[in-house]
Amino acid sequence: MKVSSKKIGLGVVALAVALMGSAAIADKAHMGKHGMGGPMGRMGPSFDFAAADTNKDGKVTPEEFAAYRTAMVTGIDTDNDGKLSLDELVAMHMKNAAERAKDMSTRMMQDLDADGDGKLSVAELIAMPVPPDAFELADTNKDGVIDQAEAEAAMKNMMHEPDGKHGKHRDNEGQGGN
């Protein structure tokens, strides 16, 4: 069976849309209405309750929370100058992103590795569920194909709303979340 380059290209776009959608869904567990991990998650991808509960009474007081936040910021200040440089902030974000990427990749491997070999084949990735209307949503001019501009717009719309804020898939409340 001969497959045209146009069909392969459309398959790649559909796979990219599906992967971005699954990434957003997988990452949804880390998101709340206040951003990553809700209001406490602004210090990183997860709030470590045990570390913040310094007296181990099962409760975190405002003082313990303030001390926890101070410790988190101090830990980012790798040169111990009392200030956070651009490089220190980038390193913090890269570490957090790497942790989230590893978690998301682990979940994908668990969900999609049908033959259990610890690797994902093209067939296993293509078998990933895709929202039934993914192609139709990307084909905004309804001509039966997705052009470059439509593909870019679909990717942008998945990640951001027109006002530049994160898309509704990042919100666990209201219409965009469950």
Rounded-to-integer distance, Cα 138 and Cα 13, Å: 9
> What's the one-letter identity of residue 172?
N
- At residue 100, the 3 state secondary structure works out as helix
Contact status, residue 150 vs residue 161, Cβ threshold 8 Å: no
Q: What is the pTM of this model?
A: 0.49
Nearest-angstrom CA–CA distance, 43 and 59: 19
From the list 46, 43, 99, the residue with the least C-alpha distance to 67 is 43
pLDDT tens, 23-79? Answer: 444 444 444 444 444 555 454 446 889 999 999 999 999 999 999 989 988 989 999
Distance CA 122, CA 128 (A): 10
Q: What is the pLDDT of residues 63-103, one digit of tens each?
A: 999 999 899 889 899 999 999 999 999 999 999 899 999 99
Say how many C-beta atoms besides its own lie within 10 A of residue 36's C-beta.
19
Place of tokens 């902030």: 89
